[in-house]
Structure 1
């Protein structure tokens, strides 16, 4: 019997359109002889179901042309004549969301609450990795290299710009790179080489997030990515890649211009010599130590002057599922999808089921306003 897969994508995020592309790529490559797939589009706080199998459905998306779906006790329902009607009961949710509430743990928590297996990292790991400030602290706790950085709140910056900028200048040397803490795809990122540019960069980042990460920018470096996923209890590590950027950092246009994912060129494997071993070892360690699941991609900055590897960030649901990075290790896109689906179902079967501790506290409670100790 085919396993039922809810292909979940969209959600409130600046990267929603990128999520649609990943979902359609995944839908076209999943083994339909093994899986019965139902696309589920998260849009403005609601789920939609039915005939969502083409990019044309989303350019633009017309909610009234599709059925609204409701997730109740692990099953999707639709409304017919104001009555709930069963629509789809998934064995697993295959997440293709990028950024925002689709990758920061919010949707993961909803499906976990409904006892549906998910193909990505759980709520806690997703939230920690989405937050660049939190993830950097985790990298430091593992004694991994991170660039000098400071965290600035939007309120702090807007209440006293000069004081905030002076504090940053005292702690980190220019040039700087300024990022919204919880955005992806290079959205809201600016480079600052002086005080005026830093002011502007902080203003831009503050439009996208209430928390901002400011870090030192390397002059001579290459960006290197490496992906991983779990299969049969073993971690599969991908080839490394070296994206070719047009500017000082990989921009949104570098990644997605031209109407396709990863529009920029890639060098696979990355030309970093013996440092490739460090990148792969760090990727495996991060996957294990942070309790990650599904496909993740770890992004690194390699200082070519000092021959040093810095961990930059972790993408818990990478674009296109990072399938192209696994070709060199003998894993096709179809097999990758199947592997993470089966791993999610296996993890769910082994999970400790939440339960309520039974007691006589309420039975014996006599009322009153005193605190229960």
Structure 2
């Protein structure tokens, strides 16, 4: 029997458009002999819209932005609908959501409560992976080398802005990067070379989050690796990002399409082993499930620093994660099929947990 797969996309997030691009690419790649595909669209206002089964790939994101009466997420759950409607429910949900209200553990928690299998990381890993401060604190505890960093919440900054800027200058210096703590896709990120740019970067980053992180600049190649699995994760080949700008920003990721991607990256066997080891350690430190993409800096001296992990990396035509696995011998359709299998595996394991005394 075919698996009834719900593609959950959109979302109340600044990364709404990125999610649409991801959903479009995944929908085109799905093997229709194995899956019946159902679109589940979350509008920018947070409304849920469940569409009819998709007979084939859609051609553009406009077709995914359904307009209909909003539905409750509860219609997805076999356990919360009348028996006669159960055949219309979803077997597995693939949350193709990026940013807050989707990639941060919120949707994962809802799916856990409804006991629905879903692709990717659980509540803890999703939440910790989204919050760059918490993630880096966990990596520090795990002994993973990374750039020096500091962070602020908005109220702290508003009380004494000058003190905040001076702390950054004293602890990190210039250049440095200012980022919202809970966003991806390089939204709201700026590289700062002086106080004026630092002030402007704080202002912008705080538009997207109540907490921001500031990191020292590491001069090195940008290396990425894919991780796939549950309790026994494995790694892909490595790839290198070669941005034509100062850093790999939102426009380069999703609009230009001309950023250099070198797959596989030219690194030594020893460097690969180090990156592989750090990626697996990061995955396990977060209690990962399904997938992550781990991002590193590799200096000319051969030092490796972990930058971050992405618990739901993009699947757009320019996205690194599926490209890495394609070069490792796992095709686009096979990758999606494996992620669904891992989701079912993790869900079945959870059903063995005893909840009563």
Specify the alignment match of 2:107 in structure 1: 107
Specify the alignment match of 1:300 in structure 2: 296
Structure 1 window deviating more from structure 2 (349-358 vs 265-274): it is: 349-358
What's the C-alpha RMSD, in Å, of the aligned pairs? 2.4
Specify the alignment match of 1:288 in structure 2: 284
1:270–1:276: 8 Å Cα contact kept in structure 2? no
1:128–1:135: 8 Å Cα contact kept in structure 2? yes
Structure 2 residue 239 is the aligned partner of structure 1 residue 241: yes
Give the number of equivalent residue pairs: 345
**Cα deviations by residue, 1:69-109 (Å, 9 ceiling, x for unpaired):** 323275389xxxxxx97683111111211112110011111
Specify the alignment match of 1:264 in structure 2: 259
Shift of 1:20: 1.1
Label 1:16 to 1:55 Cα distance change in 2 as closer, same or farther (>3 A). Answer: farther
Any residues of structure 2 matched to 1:120-139 within 5 Å, and which? 120-139=120-139
Quick one: distance in 2 between partners of 1:286 and 1:68?
38
Q: Secondary structure at the match of 1:68?
A: coil
1:91–1:345: 8 Å Cα contact kept in structure 2? no
- The two structures have a TM-score, normalised by structure 1, of 0.86
Quick one: distance in 2 between partners of 1:25 and 1:56?
9
Specify the alignment match of 1:179 in structure 2: 179
**Cα deviations by residue, 1:205-254 (Å, 9 ceiling, x for unpaired):** 11111111011112x311111011117x6423111111110222111111
Quick one: distance in 1 between partners of 2:355 and 2:272?
48
Q: Secondary structure at the match of 2:73?
A: strand
Shift of 1:340: 0.9
Bigger Cα Rg: 1
1:74–1:115: 8 Å Cα contact kept in structure 2? no
Quick one: distance in 1 between partners of 2:48 and 2:87?
12
Structure 2 residue 97 is the aligned partner of structure 1 residue 54: no
1:9–1:96: 8 Å Cα contact kept in structure 2? yes
1:122–1:293: 8 Å Cα contact kept in structure 2? yes
Specify the alignment match of 2:210 in structure 1: 210
Specify the alignment match of 2:271 in structure 1: 275
Structure 1 unaligned spans of 5+: 78-83, 359-373
Any residues of structure 2 matched to 1:1-373 within 5 Å, and which? 1-43=1-43, 44-50=45-51, 54=58, 56=60, 58=62, 61=65, 63=67, 66-72=68-74, 74-75=76-77, 88-218=88-218, 220-230=219-229, 234-258=232-256, 263-273=258-268, 274-304=270-300, 306-320=301-315, 322-352=321-351, 357=356
Quick one: distance in 1 between partners of 2:88 and 2:283?
32
Q: Secondary structure at the match of 2:71?
A: strand
Q: Greater share of strand residues, 1 or 2?
A: 1
Structure 1 window deviating more from structure 2 (186-195 vs 286-295): it is: 286-295
Q: Secondary structure at the match of 2:31?
A: coil
Shift of 1:276: 2.1
Quick one: distance in 2 between partners of 1:69 and 1:85?
15
Label 1:207 to 1:200 Cα distance change in 2 as closer, same or farther (>3 A). Answer: same
2:244–2:260: 8 Å Cα contact kept in structure 1? no
Shift of 1:342: 1.0
- The two structures have a TM-score, normalised by structure 2, of 0.89
**Cα deviations by residue, 1:191-218 (Å, 9 ceiling, x for unpaired):** 1111222111111111111111011112
Structure 2 unaligned spans of 5+: none
Quick one: distance in 1 between partners of 2:31 and 2:204?
43
Q: Secondary structure at the match of 2:14?
A: coil
